[in-house]
Structure 1
Amino acid sequence: MTRTILKGMLLASSILGTAGIAHAQDVTLTIESWRNDDLSIWQEKIIPAFEAKNPGIKVVFSPTAPTEYNAALNAKLDAGSAGDLITCRPFDASLELFNKGHLASLNDLSGMENFSDVAKSAWTTDDGATTFCVPMASVIHGFIYNKDAFDQLGIAVPATEAEFFAALDKIKADGNFIPMAMGTKDLWEAATMGYQNIGPTYWKGEEGRAALIKGEQKLTDEPWVEPYRVLAKWKDYLGDGFEAQTYPDSQNLFTLGRAAIYPAGSWEIGLFNSQAQFKMGAFPPPVKNAGDTCYISDHNDIGVGLNAKSANADAAKKFLTFVASPDFADIYANSLPGFFSLNSTAVKMADPLAQEFVSWREKCKPTIRSTYQILSRGTPNLENETWTASANVINGTQTPEEAAKKLQEGLDSWYKPAN
């Protein structure tokens, strides 16, 4: 009997010992994020897909409210209690984290070869030497339109600036729809869905943006003033009282079927799909003349990096390599229509409106918003100043030339291009 008990004890200790070894190999990774609206997608789709191929690594997605994220994350990083993986906002906020030593370099990470320089630009040092977050998604600008309204009025999708204004004139003359749903009260709407939407067509996307940073072009040059001249013409098509119209007002005007065109960011797709009772389509910013190269703002929105002090760096890098893969790109982009993968491998979108937006990458040159990299670090902040200038130009309280002059003077007061 003693021998039987001894055997049982040895067997039990052997089993426990094996369980202890298995447990020791288990690693739990925590992801910090400000996106709390996509929690279910991480829990139900992304994390299971990773864990199935990486036994022994568990992943916990732990979001903070968007308005609290920056402060909460900085406090955790300073205290050494932040998660292993840090969701990265674009440009300066994440660059500051890298410069403080909170984010690790990902230059040698397997999978980074899947991203272009434009895709990586929001999470790369000014000298281009180090990338510190894996690009996850971007948002694309253009125009969403009410297909039923266009069919009713016999309007073809405009491709050129002249066709665009001819369509607006036809909608206005008919009188059943507000031609375009956009307000200027919230300021950012005028800049983001106005100036940064159509502007790349005139300053030639990355070519103009790079020239502005280098000091080879100024905001008073024609390519930067001309989009303001075009915006000034929008005033006649925005409906009564647009100066007091907020961003949610604009969304409602369009989804309720009262406006025919909505200057858009692709992030509207999910909401519009759930609210609009009519067929929708989308078109890219019109070109000046037929046959011109078209440009789109394909703006980097979200990435993910490695906490430089993570105790689980090897496991975290495995997860980041997964984020850099076409498999992740497909899951993420199709789960969140309107947030497009930055991976070089094209993702076929199940949502037709999202597929329309992403198809423009095949025919248009991508760029990012002109104010976001380097040029908004000083005071006055060029991004915020552009909000005000864009609203003023549309309201008719400032001429395009006056707006451009004020923006350039503000930039000159603190920014000196590197020679």
Structure 2
Amino acid sequence: MFKKSTTALMASAIALSAALPAFAQDVTLTMWHNHPEWKDRAQAILDAFEAENPGIKIDLEEIAGTNYSARLNTALAAGEAPDLFGLPAGNETLAAGNAGYAMDLTGKLDLSSLRATPGEAVVQDGKTWGVPILGAYSVGLYYHRNIFADLGMTPPTNQAEFLEMCAEMKAQGVTPLIVPASDGIVPSFMYMMLTASVLGTEGFAELRRGERKFTDPDLVAAADFLQDIGECMQPGALSTPYVEGKALAALGQGAMMPGGSADYAGYQEINPAVDLGVVPFPGVGDNAPATVTGLEYIYLVNSDTEHADAALTFLQWMLGDTAQQMVVDSITMSTSKNVAPEGNRILDEFVQASRSGDMRVFYELPETGNVWSVAQQNTAALFLGEISPEDFAAKLQDAVVIAE
């Protein structure tokens, strides 16, 4: 990707903030964000920051996810990137840091408020290049509670229930599943959840060590189930972009849709009356249903910024309790161990769903980072029957990188 040669923070964070300079004149930080559907909620958090830090203004630009990477790549190459920009935790963040695009944040911020998994995810090769200021997510299966009530059905928990329900819904003229599949991202999340049901966290660790393979029969069964799910998706799913698919899902054009905890805000923006529930994605065979969990984009500081101190002040505030309570109450799951959602039923359901079985997303880890992109490139061929589940699994296994 890269080519260039709170109410109060914890005591140590307060000390760190006190060491940063006061801003006698206004400083404006530019920030790119890839969730336009969060605009009002994200801006409310930035307004709270500016109220507590009147010398710093955040100029937020919202860029749709489908355009974000291309815009950012171009801006970085041209030396015109914003002061603050987000990237997925994992290989892309490490590449940005190693290419010199991002400031090394190691030791410059107090990260003690982070839960263990996010804290682990932001450290790569001993360095911290970015921090998760806008939360984490879990991915499961959304369903329209009103549609299920009208049909007299309950959400499926395993492969047989799902495929049987799919057939029954289609017989009654109901589209079972909305999947925006044009770029392969949502189908790849579906595959991750299916593998999570087979592997669990222990099995995933074994796969990363080379002790399990995607070509093992029980994991080929996950690819086989994914191929079968294609029959349950809306017509034209393979040409449906994310924004259009999200609108179809929010407006009840299908009974279910795979989605993350951060998607709910967008569904509400499209349809304030939407009545959704969340369950883990049905398990392969008799395996328990599962979810996957990862970080929303982590935020990096442009190495060319003229306002490094202001950027650090902003990131430290965003890691604090005030900001993270706003994140978890209005947008998605927080990465902070100090806050919990207050009256957010959807996030509570995601927490419950993740207890059935949960696994980290492929792209945040060096061994499986390449698997993510290979899955995206091949899900359409799997749905179309152009490759077999065995061939799909073999392509993914070839992309695994096992440390020597």
TM-score under structure 2 normalisation? 0.78
Please report how far the alpha carbon of residue 143 of structure 1 lies from its aligned counterpart in structure 2 after TM superposition: 1.2
Aligned mates of 2:156, 2:283 — CA distance in 1: 9
Q: Which residue does 1:406 correspond to in 2?
A: 395
Q: Which residue does 2:200 correspond to in 1?
A: 204
In structure 2, the CA distance between the partners of 1:394 and 1:102, relative to structure 1 (3 Å rule), is: closer
Q: Which residue does 2:382 correspond to in 1?
A: 393
Q: Deviations over 1:232-279 (max 9, x none)?
A: 232342355555555455445434434211122344323322444552
Please report how far the alpha carbon of residue 394 of structure 1 lies from its aligned counterpart in structure 2 after TM superposition: 2.8
Q: Which residue does 1:6 correspond to in 2?
A: none
Question: Structure 2: 5+ residue runs without aligned partners?
Answer: 1-20
Report the 3-state secondary structure (helix = DSSP H, G, I; strand = E; otherwise coil) of the residue aligned with 2:300: strand
Report the 3-state secondary structure (helix = DSSP H, G, I; strand = E; otherwise coil) of the residue aligned with 2:198: helix
Q: Which moved more, 1:87-96 or 1:132-141?
A: 87-96
Aligned mates of 2:394, 2:109 — CA distance in 1: 46
Q: Which residue does 2:188 correspond to in 1?
A: 191
Please report how far the alpha carbon of residue 32 of structure 1 lies from its aligned counterpart in structure 2 after TM superposition: 2.9
Kept in 1, the 8 Å contact 2:196–2:357? The answer is: no
1:142 paired with 2:140, answer: yes
Aligned mates of 2:51, 2:307 — CA distance in 1: 19
Q: Which residue does 2:49 correspond to in 1?
A: 50
Report the 3-state secondary structure (helix = DSSP H, G, I; strand = E; otherwise coil) of the residue aligned with 1:353: helix
Please report how far the alpha carbon of residue 367 of structure 1 lies from its aligned counterpart in structure 2 after TM superposition: 3.1
Q: Which residue does 1:68 correspond to in 2?
A: 71
In structure 2, the CA distance between the partners of 1:304 and 1:240, relative to structure 1 (3 Å rule), is: closer
Amino acid at match of 2:188: A
Aligned mates of 2:85, 2:268 — CA distance in 1: 30
Please report how far the alpha carbon of residue 371 of structure 1 lies from its aligned counterpart in structure 2 after TM superposition: 4.1
In structure 2, the CA distance between the partners of 1:341 and 1:152, relative to structure 1 (3 Å rule), is: same
Aligned mates of 2:127, 2:358 — CA distance in 1: 22
Aligned mates of 2:237, 2:53 — CA distance in 1: 53
Q: Which residue does 2:278 correspond to in 1?
A: 282
Q: Which residue does 1:343 correspond to in 2?
A: 336
Aligned mates of 2:45, 2:305 — CA distance in 1: 21
Aligned mates of 1:152, 1:349 — CA distance in 2: 30
1:167 paired with 2:160, answer: no
1:119 paired with 2:137, answer: no
Question: Structure 1: 5+ residue runs without aligned partners?
Answer: 1-21
CA RMSD of aligned residues (A): 3.5
In structure 2, the CA distance between the partners of 1:353 and 1:306, relative to structure 1 (3 Å rule), is: same
- Structure 1 residues 26-45: aligned runs within 5 Å: 26=25, 28=27, 30-35=29-34, 37=36, 38=38, 40-43=40-43, 45=44
Aligned mates of 1:32, 1:253 — CA distance in 2: 30
Count of matched residue pairs:
376
Aligned mates of 1:293, 1:140 — CA distance in 2: 16
In structure 2, the CA distance between the partners of 1:124 and 1:74, relative to structure 1 (3 Å rule), is: farther
Please report how far the alpha carbon of residue 282 of structure 1 lies from its aligned counterpart in structure 2 after TM superposition: 1.7
Aligned mates of 1:28, 1:50 — CA distance in 2: 13
Kept in 2, the 8 Å contact 1:300–1:368? The answer is: no
TM-score under structure 1 normalisation? 0.75
In structure 2, the CA distance between the partners of 1:104 and 1:214, relative to structure 1 (3 Å rule), is: farther
In structure 2, the CA distance between the partners of 1:272 and 1:369, relative to structure 1 (3 Å rule), is: same
1:178 paired with 2:175, answer: yes
Match of 1:369 among 348, 361, 365: 361
- Structure 1 residues 228-247: aligned runs within 5 Å: 228-240=223-235, 242=237, 245=240, 247=242
Q: Which residue does 1:224 correspond to in 2?
A: 219
Aligned mates of 2:191, 2:276 — CA distance in 1: 23
Aligned mates of 1:215, 1:89 — CA distance in 2: 24
Aligned mates of 1:244, 1:31 — CA distance in 2: 34
Kept in 1, the 8 Å contact 2:33–2:85? The answer is: no
In structure 2, the CA distance between the partners of 1:245 and 1:24, relative to structure 1 (3 Å rule), is: closer
In structure 2, the CA distance between the partners of 1:239 and 1:316, relative to structure 1 (3 Å rule), is: closer
Please report how far the alpha carbon of residue 162 of structure 1 lies from its aligned counterpart in structure 2 after TM superposition: 4.0
Kept in 2, the 8 Å contact 1:299–1:368? The answer is: yes
